[in-house]
Structure 1
Amino acid sequence: MAVAPPAAYEQTDRTTPTRLRERASYDREVVHAILDAGYVCHLGFVREGAPVVLPTLYGRVGDRLYVHGSTGSRPLRSAGGAGEAKETGMPVCVTVTHVDALVLARSAFHHSLNYRSVVVHGTARQVTDEQEKRAALDALVEQVTPGRAADCRPASAKELAATAVLRIDLTEVSAKTRTGGVNDDIEDLPLPHWSGIVPVAPAYGTPIPDKHLAPGTPVPGYVTAL
């Protein structure tokens, strides 16, 4: 009988904010919802003693995060090559952020953002099992465009060999969010400056078909659904 995972991730020193702790959450559903709402993350690691942060695609499968790369990418090289990345892994920090609104206050000090963010601390390991790698690549495609993985040619053996996928287990994770309006000081309320929030939301344009697309090929429903 399968045991249900705990409702929240364990809080650690690294996942405890030094300020505004009330905005932090370790709830598993909250963390997963924020991760599932995006597909671009920032992968941070140390290379030759200096910090490096790279934007890349990710996909979530349960309590695992898969990060896309190439076999010659810096993350693998910094870990000493594919063999070492496979065996020992590489300490990383992965962040995902969504901006939901600009918060414009009467004072410059109280300007802010409404946001949802997740920070993942862990060890990235290269995925070498072919079945897991293909499942991870499907998850990456689905993260960007749900429904697309089943409607495109899967990677060939050559393409699979040229693609690197890193796996990070979701164990040391936290979410942080801000919602609501302006928090101006009482003495600033009479000031004549406009204040309020400006909602921010992603927008998709009209799909543009490839010039080599066969005439009459309809736009898939999962694309129009975006």
Structure 2
Amino acid sequence: METTAPPYPQTGRNVPTRARERAAYDRATVHAILDGGYVCHLGYVRDGAPVVLPTLYARSGETLYLHGSTGSRPLRGADPGVAVCVTVTHVDGLVLARSAFHHSINYRSVVVQGTAYQVTDPREKAAALDVLVDHVVPGRAADSRPANAKELAATAVLRLELAEVSAKLRTGGPNDEPEDAQLPHWSGVIPVATGYGAPIPAADQAAETPLPDYLKPGAPRGAA
């Protein structure tokens, strides 16, 4: 089980220089943060300069799959492999202190560093795309037309193993200075949450098409 698996090793690159007490390396924490989102930021070096791109991702065991286009320069350069840094962040609250200096954010984040490889095996590629679709909306992959050969050729998928990984989290209220406790400014936390609205059918949707069970109120919505 994930809770009994050893934590990710600490390295010279995944130990933060500030607020080390907020870092976590256990797999349950890392996986929960990754599974709670579906947009990551993919960083790499292009022509000697850093580039960061937002893209869709999904976790399958100890592997991250990253979605992209075959026209994307980092994906074209992912054979035999490209050094990347992938980040995922959730904002849980705005922390308002009595002093401007101590304002902060409650968050959960994961940083994954390593070498990403382009998925070239057709069966793994098709399976990875199903994982990506179902990560966003569970059950959707089986309820949509699979990609055809032309679409698969135009789609790229990167594979990144979870090896050099760290999580970092902040929770709780503001860290006001004792001498500021009597100042007349409001201090506390404004919670931040992501929600889903009611599904809106396509303009050309046939009126008799039923709403799938996986989209009805109360059904899992994947990452949240």
Contact 1:86 1:127 in 2 (8 A): no
| 2:85 matches 1:86 | no
Q: Distance in 2 between matches of 1:69 and 1:5?
A: 34
| 2:153 matches 1:154 | no
1:59 is matched with which residue?
A: 58
Residues 156-185 of structure 1: per-residue CA shift (max 9 Å, x gap): 011001100000000000000001111101
1:163 is matched with which residue?
A: 155
Residues 41-85 of structure 1: per-residue CA shift (max 9 Å, x gap): 0000000000000000001100000000011102124x2xxxxx2
Unaligned runs of 5+ in 2: none
**SS of residue paired to 1:67:** strand
1:172 is matched with which residue?
A: 164
Q: Which amino acid aligns with 1:208?
A: I
Percent identity among equivalent residues?
70
Q: Distance in 2 between matches of 1:94 and 1:222?
A: 29
Q: Distance in 2 between matches of 1:166 and 1:220?
A: 30
- TM-score (ref. length: structure 1): 0.92
Distance of aligned partners of 1:222 and 1:124 in 2 relative to their CA distance in 1, 3 Å threshold: same
1:209 is matched with which residue?
A: 201
Please identify runs of 4+ aligned residues in structure 1 that moved more than 3 A: none
Q: Which amino acid aligns with 1:86?
A: D
**SS of residue paired to 1:33:** helix
Unaligned runs of 5+ in 1: 80-84
1:11 is matched with which residue?
A: 10
Q: Which amino acid aligns with 2:91?
A: V
**SS of residue paired to 2:206:** coil
Structure 1 position 146, deviation (Å): 1.4
- TM-score (ref. length: structure 2): 0.93
| 2:100 matches 1:108 | yes
Q: Distance in 1 between matches of 2:173 and 2:134?
A: 34
Structure 1 position 5, deviation (Å): 8.0
Q: Distance in 1 between matches of 2:108 and 2:213?
A: 28
